[in-house]
Chain A
Amino acid sequence: MNSNIIHRFILPIALLGLISAQTVALNDKTITILKDEVVLEVRGLVCSFCAVGLQGGLSSLKYVDKKKYNDGVFVDVEYQYAVIAEKSNQDIDIDEAITMITKSGYEVLSVYTNRTGEKIEVRKFEAKKDEK
């Protein structure tokens, strides 16, 4: 009986709590930030065909786990964010990723990491009005 209660109620609630602690709301979408991933909110990232260039650039970064997603990078053009998968216990150079995204003609508004697996860290950037 006790075991049934644990499985049916307590465990799901505990898992839900754990998951909700590891999520952020990005452009009206809830995204889970995993331990070995970096999530970047990218303004202007709506051109799906252009996203290929961004994917290619980010994939070439050191310590990207190319076994995940498309060569280690997932781009969502509907909600305007990119996810970079990192190799286990090896961190990508986030500043290099930001430079690459900026060179592709977009703006990084925020970067989310979850290095410990327990706490999400956020870096926010001020949006430029426009770019040349």
Chain B
Amino acid sequence: MKNSAFSLGLIGTLVFAHQPVMDMAPRWSGGYGFQVRYESFGSDLTIHEKDILSSYFQQTFWLEGIYTWHRSKRITFKLPYHMIEHQDSDFVSKANSFGDLIVAMPLKKYSNFKRRTQNFGFTPQVRIPLNQEITSASGYLGGGISLSYSSESFSFYQLYDVFGWMYSEKDPLLGLDINLGIHPYHDNATNTGLFAIWDVTARWQESSTTILTGPVFMPYRQNIMARAEVKFPVIENGKRPQLSKGLFMNVGIGFVF
């Protein structure tokens, strides 16, 4: 039970579903952008038993980019670099490597209303392993579909994203992301402002269910936007012993042109 497979298979599946740049831009034809993010999660707590001397901590740097050739058609990529520290009893392993490349094609249908804009999104995506080695976080060929709805007024922002992934070497994944937020500050003269959002992240696999939630802050100025979030696990269960995801942290900065 304390082999690395149980924790490897179950903890490395915290898929960050959002699309660059910060799910929002560029919306204009010919626009492009990129963002870098740092995320970390992991713990030494099991969700079933207390007696397993095991831990898993993962840090990932993401380089992400987008090109919008028409406001309804975009292409994005997400390239991770993982740093994983994993311990099973006395065995400690550390691994740093590039993970799987994710390429997506968000297709959006926009509607503009008086003082509000909304869009429905359909996003086919593929996950391509860049090296042969299978780790907790990489080495899986996969295909995914996302259906999303986003609405924004001057004061409120909401995003709902349901998605599924099928992998060659592991259980399929179903996910739901909900972002509900307010826009408490904006200065027209400098195009500077802030979104304050509450995020709910749910992931289901055959072997586990995870729901994380927490606050997100997104300040922006002109063509630069940042995102900082902290999420706590509120529901974690599964058929097999596994480690808690622990505290999830994500900070990033994006640029659009």
Select B183's contact among A48, A55, A69, beta carbons within 8 Å: A48
A103/B25 contact (C-beta < 8 A), A44-B110, A53-B256, A74-B189 known: no
* Cross-chain pair count, CB within 8 angstroms: 99
Nearest chain B CB to A70 CB, angstrom units: 7
Give, as a whole number of angstroms, the nearest-CB distance from A35 to chain B.
Answer: 21
Q: Is B124 close to A, CB under 8 A? A: no
Least CB distance, B164 to chain A, in whole angstroms: 25
Interface size on A, residues (CB 8 A): 34
Q: Is B28 within 8 A of A57, CB to CB?
A: yes
B223 CB within 8 Å of chain A: yes
- Find out whether the CB atom of B188 lies under 8 angstroms from the CB atom of A74: yes
A49: interface (CB < 8 Å): yes
Q: What are the residues of chain A within 8 A of B110 when measuring CB–CB?
A: 44, 105, 130-132
Q: Which segment of A17-25, A76-84, A117-125 sits at the interface?
A: A76-84
Q: Which residues of B contact A132 (CB under 8 A)?
A: 72, 109-110
Q: A78-B154, A104-B71 are in contact. Are A53 and B188 (CB under 8 A)?
A: no
The answer to whether the Cβ of B114 comes within 8 Å of any Cβ in the partner chain is yes
Q: Which of B28, B71, B116, B191 contacts A70 (CB 8 A)?
A: B191
Tell me the A residues contacting B by CB distance below 8 Å: 27, 43-57, 69-70, 74-78, 80, 103-107, 127, 129-132
7 A-B pairs besides A49-B256, A52-B223, A105-B110 with CB distance below 8 A are A47-B27, A49-B25, A50-B26, A76-B188, A105-B27, A105-B28, A106-B112
